């Protein structure tokens, strides 16, 4: 089975400064720098069928998440040069992340309960466009899944296709698609940091990789009829989602998000 453990985290977004110039003879000091408020994710809560799935996050002094707790498990994150390079759990799970250029990973290695696997990623225009997932048995790597992520020119998601590899036939079979995606124009906090992108990839949450949040889409898992999903949000003054109501799957689900904005 594919190895995916749920963890969450967040880093800071870089501040933006704008300076207003003055003429040589004005004698006035430059206007004060204008800064952008940053919101750091503190918790998420998913409520479905009366049950809660709560995740909480612990930060260091540099606003990097150093621990994430969810579903009774705690994961520790380690950074190198501002990028997450290792994630460990108290049960001995180990995830290591490799990079070639930039903040997006080129490879993620998994070790869970003695089982090993890895994902290799393709990147285009600063977006992850392909994930090849391999399982390792007796030292041999076997392709298991391939995911393709396409984007619109504005960075929002266009389509997501996940395929399963059959070694006997040497063919890929599509197992799920997401299409007809409509996005908002607000901040998708899952793409505001290297760490949150890593977490989304660990969970195979490719629908978190777009620039903005999905308002509606058609999800087709092949074994079930296609589901037309509609998400409704509330936002804070900075444009981050505070809540999401999701309808269209078998159960209606509510999400809440809390932040430390400063």
DSSP secondary structure string, 39-78?
A: EEEEEEEEEETTEEEEEEEEE-TTS-EEEEEETTEEEEEE
Cα–Cα nearest to 65, from 45, 81, 49, 82: 82
Residue range 183-190: mean pLDDT, rounded: 96
Residue range 188-195: mean pLDDT, rounded: 89
Q: Is the pLDDT of residue 86 over 50?
A: yes
Inter-residue contact 218 to 15 (CB < 8 Å): no
Banded model confidence at residue 29, pLDDT cuts 50, 70, 90 = low
Predicted pLDDT at 22: 37
CA atoms within 13 A on the CB side of 76: 8
Residue range 122-149: mean pLDDT, rounded: 96
Report residue 137 as tokens.
């048995």
Report residue 40 as tokens.
């750091």
Class of residue 206 by CB neighbours under 10 A (exposed 0-12, middle 13-18, buried 19+): buried
Sorted by where each starts, the structural domains of the chain and their CATH numbers stand as 39-261 (2.40.160.190)
Residue range 140-157: mean pLDDT, rounded: 97
CA atoms within 13 A on the CB side of 69: 6
Run of H or E including 195: helix 194-202
Cα–Cα nearest to 244, from 211, 215, 218, 207: 215
């Amino acid at each position: 089975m594919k190895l995916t453990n749920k963890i969450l985290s967040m880093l800071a977004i870089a501040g933006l400064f704008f300076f207003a110039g003055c003429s040589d003879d004005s004698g006035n000091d430059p206007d004060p720098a204008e800064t952008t408020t940053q919101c750091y994710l503190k918790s998420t809560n998913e409520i479905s069928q009366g049950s809660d799935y709560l995740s909480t996050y612990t930060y260091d002094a540099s606003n990097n998440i150093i621990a994430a707790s969810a579903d009774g498990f705690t994961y520790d994150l380690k950074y190198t040069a501002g990028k997450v390079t290792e994630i460990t759990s108290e049960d001995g799970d180990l995830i290591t992340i490799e990079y070639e250029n930039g903040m997006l990973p080129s490879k993620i290695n998994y070790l869970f309960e003695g089982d090993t696997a890895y994902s290799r990623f393709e990147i285009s225009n600063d977006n992850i466009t392909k994930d090849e997932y391999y399982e390792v048995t007796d030292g041999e790597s076997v392709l298991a899944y391939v995911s393709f992520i396409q984007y619109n020119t504005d960075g929002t998601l266009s389509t997501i296709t996940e395929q399963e590899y059959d070694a006997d036939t040497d063919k890929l079979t599509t197992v799920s698609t997401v299409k007809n995606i409509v996005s908002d124009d607000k901040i998708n906090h899952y793409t505001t940091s290297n760490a949150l992108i890593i977490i989304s990839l660990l969970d195979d949450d490719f629908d978190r990789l777009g620039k903005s949040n999905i308002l509606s889409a058609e999800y087709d898992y092949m074994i079930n009829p296609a589901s037309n999903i509609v998400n409704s949000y509330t936002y804070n003054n900075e444009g981050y989602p505070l809540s999401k109501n999701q309808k269209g799957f078998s159960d209606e689900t509510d999400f809440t998000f809390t932040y430390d904005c400063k």
